[in-house]
Chains A and B, each alone.
Chain A
Amino acid sequence: MPTLRFDGQAVTTQDGETVLEALLRHGLAVPHGCRSGICQSCLLKAREGHIPAPAQAGLKPALAEQDYLLACRCVPDEDMVLEIPSAGTLRTPAEIAAIEPLGGEVIRLVLTPEAALDYRPGQYVTLWRDEQLGRSYSLASLPDEGQSLEFHVRVIPGGQFSGWLAGEARPGDRLEVQEAAGSCVYTPALRDANLLLVGTGTGLAPLWGIVREALRQGHRGQIRVMHGAVECDGLYLHEALKRLAAQHDNLHYHASVLRPEGCSAVDERPLDELVVETIGDFSDWHSYLCGAPELVNQLRRRIFLAGARMDAICADAFLPTAPAKT
């Protein structure tokens, strides 16, 4: 019978037993719910071993491609190494290659990791300045452009991490990069779909990765990128996105600015109105929403009510760091 490795323990399965049953039988803590492959509470990631097809039925393609599986539907046919998805803790040392202003409060951080990082555009990583101080940022680079990692960091005055980056940090300084996570990624299955990419502030970073990845893969459906900022200088990729849109017939770029004095080529409607009025019927759209939690959650609901399928909305709300406990 196949043996499972999970949480530092080895578990031998019994005939016909699922991964979930085997782990629970050994008293291991695995989140679970319906035990029928529907609620997806028992999502695990396979580090090694073949995943039987029924264990991925109903999963988003992005999760299936990253070797996620449903423990309650997985009857293993060979040995497997499994983990709870959020448990990614492998860290890669990296060196700061560049820190430069991008516009407004946003800086571009470029890192050179010691070993190539396994990631997909749209995912995020946690950067560690030391053992205790880590912050999550979305990747704006593409793995196919080389080993360098690019991030867009909003500098928060007095921020322990972003303040350090903007002030003291210098090229050559070292950080650690934790494994990439997140399921808001582009997959080849979406090539003919219409893509709506909506971001506020540095919520644009993962979208900058996704839009370039989609174009690189020869995306055939429409793509609309909508970026919201408080003032014009917050539209930190305004020119780059306008240029990219000019080069691709199926790409359109819209910018929304809360205080539009002195801006050029921006929409004066608030971002959510711009999104809803531009698209209208969302039933043919696949949406990625990144940035401020209130806007992301509100838009997710509006887009769903305006006809989008639930599984065609990918939301990535950027949560502020909780204040340190004293």
Chain B
Amino acid sequence: MTTLYERLGGEAAIDKAVDIFYRKVLTDDRINGFFDDVDMERQANKQKAFLTMVFGGPNQYTGQDMREGHKHLVARGLDDSHVDAVIEHLGSTLKELGAADEDIAQVAGIANSVRDDVLNR
């Protein structure tokens, strides 16, 4: 069975997805405050790693990485509503790229599976 990562076109498709996804995140006033003081290039690389993971591509992120990486944001008020917004943008990004509804649901599922780690619960 192929992964969504492969079906979308592998790494090249992820680059395109990151640009679309990151633009959505930066223009969303509910969550762009969390992205204000970060280096855009480093941030884009992290998002690429994140999208690669939720699309089922090669990654070795652990729950511990997710906890460490978001600790400072949880301290600034990161909660479920923000995670929901990110998952919403993931879905609309995938739609723009022509992904099927089942795939979008699957991606949301993977993203949801790291919710507790991201929120340090």
A interface residues with partner B (beta carbon < 8 Å): 33-41, 57-58, 297, 300-301, 304-305, 309-311, 315
Contact = CB atoms under 8 A, between A and B. Distances in A.
A315 B39 CA distance: 11
B23 A38 contact: no
A38 B60 CA distance: 11
Q: Is the interface of A mostly helix, strand, loop or mixed?
A: loop
Given A57-B11, A301-B40, A311-B15, A38 B48 contact: yes
Contacts of A304: 19, 22-23, 26, 40
28 contacts: A33-B65, A34-B59, A34-B60, A34-B61, A36-B49, A36-B52, A36-B58, A36-B59, A36-B60, A38-B45, A39-B46, A40-B45, A41-B45, A57-B11, A58-B11, A297-B40, A300-B40, A301-B26, A304-B23, A305-B23, A305-B26, A305-B27, A309-B15, A309-B19, A310-B18, A310-B19, A310-B41, A315-B41
Contacts of A57: 11
Given A37-B58, A58-B11, 14 more contacts: A33-B46, A34-B60, A36-B58, A36-B59, A38-B45, A300-B40, A304-B22, A304-B23, A304-B40, A309-B19, A310-B40, A310-B41, A310-B44, A315-B40
Interface in B52-91: 52, 58-61, 65
A72 to B, nearest CB: 9
Q: Is the interface of B mostly helix, strand, loop or mixed?
A: helix
Contacts of A311: 15
Interface string B8-42: 00010001001100110011000000000000110
Contacts of A41: 45
B40 A38 contact: no
Contact of B52 (A33, A38, A297, A309): A38
A34 B49 CA distance: 7
Contacts of B60: 34-36
A300 B40 CA distance: 8
A58 B65 CA distance: 22
A297 B35 CA distance: 13
Contacts of B52: 36, 38
Contacts of A301: 26, 40
A33 B22 contact: no
A301 B19 CA distance: 12
A34 B26 CA distance: 23
A36 B65 CA distance: 14
A145 B39 CA distance: 35
A305 B65 CA distance: 29
A304 B15 CA distance: 14
B19 A39 contact: no
A162 B27 CA distance: 41
Given A301-B40, A310-B41, A38 B15 contact: no
Contacts of B27: 305
Nearest to B60: A35
A304 B27 CA distance: 11
Nearest to A283: B19
B92 to A, nearest CB: 16
B83 to A, nearest CB: 20
Contacts of B15: 309, 311
A38 B15 CA distance: 10
A33 B61 CA distance: 8
Contacts of A39: 45-46, 48-49
A36 B40 CA distance: 20
A36 B60 CA distance: 7
Contacts of B48: 38-39
A54 to B, nearest CB: 11
10 nearest interchain CB pairs? Answer: A38-B49, A34-B49, A310-B44, A39-B49, A35-B60, A36-B58, A39-B45, A36-B59, A40-B45, A38-B48
A237 B11 CA distance: 42
B18 to A, nearest CB: 7
B108 to A, nearest CB: 21
A40 to B, nearest CB: 5
Contacts of A297: 40
Contacts of B22: 304, 310
